[in-house]
Amino acid sequence: MRPAARVLLALIVLLAGCSGPGQEARWTEIFRDDFSGAAGSPLPSGWLHDLGTCYPGCPAPRWGTGEIETMTDSTENVSLDGAGNLAITPLLREGAWTSGRVETTRSDFRPPPGGVLRVEARIQLPAVTPSDGAGYWPAFWMLGAPLRDGYTGWPAIGEIDVVEAVNGRPAVMAAMHCGVMPGGPCGEPSGIGSGERPCPTCHGSFHRYAVEISEKEIRWYLDDTPVLTVAAARMDQQTWRRATAHGFFLILNVAIGGGLPEALGGGPTPTTLPGRPMLIDYVSVKTKPLTHPL
C-alpha cells in the first residue's frame, strides 16, 4: 500500500471511531448527568417530570401498573441532595402517597448502525427492608420513543427495565417487554426477565446498573456482572425491530404499590416507612460503533 493511502486509511479509521486489528472501538459518551448542585435544587435541565397518575389522556390509569402514589414535581419528592445525587423520595401525608417519576427530555438514545448503546446509572435503592419497605418499587428503565406519539403502543414499542426492586427485598431484577398483550414472544405482562437476583446491599448502598443494546441482543449488568441476555433470535424479526429499532427515553421513579409488589408479597402496610429516597449519583449514555477489521 502506498504511504498516502496508508495515511488516508488511518484518518478514516480515526474519524469513524474505529481502531486497528486486535483493538476494540471506543465508547463515546453522548449524555451524562452527575446531578451536581445545592441541596433542595429542582430537577436539572434535560429531564422532565411525569405528573399525576398516568400519561396525558390516561390511556393507562395508575401508569398501567396499579401503583397508588401520585407523582409530583415538588422538590420534596424530587430534588438534588447537595452531595452529587438526585433524590426521589416517596412521602405519605394524610393517608395519600406522593413520589417522583422523571424522564429524559431526549428520546433518541439508540445504538449506531451495527454498534452498541450502553445506558448506565449508579444508584442507591431506598434503604428499606421487607419489614419497613412493603410497597416500595424503585426503578431505572427505558421506553421506546414511539410511546410519546399519543402514549399508546405498549408493549410493542419496547420497554427495557435496567433495574427494579420491590418491597425492600434483598434482590434486584431486569426485564424486557415487547410484542402483544397478553402473551406474545415476551410473555406479557411479565416480560422476559432475570427473576430476582440476590443483592443484600443494593438497598442502602450504591451499585452500577447498566444495559447494552445492539441489533443482535440486549445485555444487562450489575456492577459489570452479566445478569440477563435476550437475543434477537428469540423472537420474530418484526417484533424485535418494533421493540428496539428506534430511540428510547430513560425513566427514574419510585412507585408505591402496584402489580409487581403485590405479586411478591403485597403493597404498602402500616409499617411501611415513607421518606426513604432512591439516590442517583449519575446517569450515562454511551455508544460504540461497529468495529471493522482491517
CATH number at residue 170: 2.60.120.200
What cell numbers appear for 266 in the block? 403485597
Within a domain: residue 205? yes
Within a domain: residue 160? yes
User: Distances in Å between the alpha carbon of 155 and those of 188, 210, 233?
Assistant: 8, 21, 18
**Angstrom distance (rounded) from CA 254 to CA 140:** 9
- Phi, psi of 180, deg, nearest 5: -120, 165
Q: How many CB atoms lie within 10 A of CB 154?
A: 20
DSSP letter, residue 112: P
- Is the torsion defined by CA of 275, 133, 201, 163 positive or negative? negative
Within a domain: residue 124? yes
**Angstrom distance (rounded) from CA 46 to CA 246:** 20
Task: Give the count of alpha carbons within 13 A of 196, CB side only.
Answer: 15
pTM: 0.91
- Is the torsion defined by CA of 28, 242, 253, 208 positive or negative? negative
Q: For residue 2, what pLDDT is reported?
A: 57
Residues forming a β-bridge with 87? 79, 279
DSSP letter, residue 173: E
- Domains in the chain, number: 1
pLDDT, tens digit, 9 for 90 and up, residues 213-255: 999 999 999 999 999 999 999 999 999 999 999 999 999 999 9
* Contact (CB, 8 A) for 73 and 49: yes
The residue whose grid cell reads 452498541 is 116
- Phi, psi of 52, deg, nearest 5: 80, -140
Within a domain: residue 117? yes
**Angstrom distance (rounded) from CA 144 to CA 203:** 28
Within a domain: residue 14? no
- Phi, psi of 145, deg, nearest 5: -55, -35
**Angstrom distance (rounded) from CA 207 to CA 291:** 30
**Angstrom distance (rounded) from CA 105 to CA 15:** 29
Reduced to 3 states (helix: H, G, I; strand: E, B; else coil), residue 242 is helix
Within a domain: residue 142? yes
Within a domain: residue 52? yes
User: Distances in Å between the alpha carbon of 147 and those of 73, 75, 159, 167, 215?
Assistant: 21, 27, 10, 28, 20
User: Distances in Å between the alpha carbon of 57 and those of 47, 62, 119, 286, 294?
Assistant: 21, 12, 29, 33, 53
Ranges of residues in the chain with a pLDDT under 70 are 1-24, 291-294
Q: For residue 290, what pLDDT is reported?
A: 80
Domain span at 78: 22-288
Within a domain: residue 6? no
What cell numbers appear for 231 in the block? 437475543
Residues forming a β-bridge with 79? 87
**Angstrom distance (rounded) from CA 53 to CA 101:** 10
* Contact (CB, 8 A) for 155 and 177: yes
Q: For residue 102, what pLDDT is reported?
A: 98
Q: For residue 266, what pLDDT is reported?
A: 85
